[in-house]
Structure 1
Amino acid sequence: MGRVTDRVCLVTGAARGIGRAIGEALLAEGASVCFADLDGDKAARVADAASAKADGRGGNAMGIAVDVRERDQVREMIARTVERFGRLDVKFNNAGVNKPMRFMDVDESNWNFIMGVNGLGCLIGIQEAARQMIAQGGGGKIVNTASVASRQGFDNVAPYCASKWAVVSLTQSAARDLARHNITVTGFAPGVVATEMWEEVDRDLMEIGAAERPGQAMEEFSANILRGRVAVPGDITGTTTFLASRDSDYMTGQIVMIDGGMTLV
């Protein structure tokens, strides 16, 4: 019997990378999962593939399009999840973006884009998930994706760092406010993870002259990882499934570092 059997989970940013791995791991452990992403067609394909892979041994899956910055879309995503599966037990606010830019070149467009998805999107996601959980009764779990960049600032990605510090603050504030409703709010902070997003960051850093060759950025960021290698999405999902399970019922307001010892705090 899986750790999240019969739980209904919703994961944003789930068409690729960490989000996809989170959803697939939850599905394999018995949860029903909504894979949500800005690319709704890809989210649907990922959900179908995950269901086929589970082959009846896991839960059920669906895919849906959502822009996490748009409250009406977030409400619709939650409503459709509840319509399909009956309730919402766990919400992962995982959708995130980055667009490296030298600090002195950061402009309003870059700032608003990153903060809109990573900051405002997290706030809206927490609020709307909590409203559903309060209305249905029985509590729930909200899990937010932070980053090692929520613990210290890095050059060339200042808005991303600021947005992930915002995720930590939102996690703590929401945990305090929602405890009376039996809703826990936690988060996890990945380090360097080999995903499509890191490939994009690598290309962007080369474009602004902050890296000279492909792979340089990942090598430099990961040089001090105590585990001696970059992570893959599967390194993250043991913790995320734990945060979605009853095993973490006494945790709230905490951010779990999953960075291989890159940042010791």
Structure 2
Amino acid sequence: MSKKLQDKVAIVTGSGRGIGRGIALRLAQDGATVVVADINADNVKKVAEEIKALGARTLAMVTDVTKEADVQKLVDTTVAEFGKLDIMVANAGIANIKMSIEMTADEWDKIFAVNCRGVFICDTVAARQMIKQGHKGTMGSGGRIINCASIAAHSGFSILAAYSASKFAVRGFTQALAKELGPHKITVNAYCPGIVGTDMWGLIDEKMGPYLGMGKGEVLKEYTKLITAGTVGVPEEVACFVSYLASSDADYMTGQSVMIDGGIVMN
């Protein structure tokens, strides 16, 4: 595998498992130094050990993305340890599987705290550091900000209303921030996974079943019928696209939220 991210320093939030772990490992394979950030201490240590085994530099940081002080510490520690920050992947996110009329306002707020507030904090703290570092005059040379959205950012899903709304917000913020940071040569894009074989989709399958009169595994099987490619995705397939966004190959791409879903939602 090419070392296209050699000498780059990346932070990946929510990288203790699932898609975030896949992204962290892929960026490390591409030559980047990867800071593993997650709210689960055991998970960050495990992923950091996997990255070390690949021969890449890494750091494990327990981080709550809803707390600005945590994210500031994350960025400051990264810069103190490795000298700079080139790539911020704001991947951390949660879901709540409920009908809207059954959801409390506090449950709604929790989804937005992680999925929107967390992205806002990670992006802006990273952007201030990137601006301080300067750029070389070419697009992308100022840094890369990469957000986790979803196919639910393009088409709202029932029983996932709060999640869908939060991801629509990420998509809109990605567009606006790309315009604001363009003069600083920082690109801002988002990746939009579909159905990926992770713990989150296991939870969706389990919690959505009773609403649809389906047993365990049946919801995932039914949703898989929507996938043109015919199979559920894996984290590595999403990570491939994030690798592209993090590289110089994506210099001319900003403000985009691209679906990696095997052909469920097509625009």
1:199-228 CA distances to partner (integer Å, 9 max, x unpaired)? 12222224x534521112212222121101
Which of 155, 170, 173 matches 2:176?
Answer: 173
- How far apart in 2 are the matches of 1:183 and 1:40? 31
Q: Provide the alpha-carbon RMSD of the alignment.
A: 1.1
TM-score (norm 2): 0.94
Give the match for residue 96 of structure 2. 99
Give the match for residue 151 of structure 2. 148
Question: Comparing 222-231 with 8-17, which one deviates more in the overlay?
Answer: 222-231
Give the match for residue 4 of structure 1. 5
> CA shift at 1:47, angstroms?
0.7
Give the match for residue 37 of structure 1. 38
* Long gaps (5+) in structure 1: none
Question: Comparing 14-23 with 78-87, which one deviates more in the overlay?
Answer: 78-87
> CA shift at 1:88, angstroms?
0.3
State the one-letter code of the partner of 2:99: R
Give the match for residue 21 of structure 1. 22
- How far apart in 1 are the matches of 2:40 and 2:245? 26
Q: Quick one: percent identity of the two aligned structures?
A: 39
Tell me if structure 2 keeps the 8 A contact 1:36–1:43.
yes
Which of 200, 221, 237 matches 2:203?
Answer: 200
Tell me if structure 1 keeps the 8 A contact 2:51–2:57.
no
- How far apart in 2 are the matches of 1:211 and 1:188? 31
> CA shift at 1:28, angstroms?
0.7
TM-score (norm 1): 0.95
Aligned structure 1 segments of 4 or more residues deviating by more than 3 angstroms: 208-211
**SS of aligned partner of 1:252:** coil
Give the match for residue 128 of structure 1. 125
Give the match for residue 113 of structure 1. 110
- How far apart in 2 are the matches of 1:246 and 1:211? 48
Tell me if structure 2 keeps the 8 A contact 1:13–1:36.
yes
State the one-letter code of the partner of 1:112: D
**SS of aligned partner of 1:209:** helix
Give the match for residue 247 of structure 1. 249
Give the match for residue 183 of structure 1. 186
Question: Comparing 102-111 with 164-173, which one deviates more in the overlay?
Answer: 102-111
Inter-CA distance 21–8: structure 2 relative to 1 (3 Å threshold): same
* Long gaps (5+) in structure 2: 136-141
Which of 75, 79, 82 matches 2:79?
Answer: 82
- How far apart in 2 are the matches of 1:66 and 1:73? 6
- How far apart in 2 are the matches of 1:128 and 1:263? 32
> CA shift at 1:173, angstroms?
0.6
Number of residue pairs the alignment of both structures matches: 260
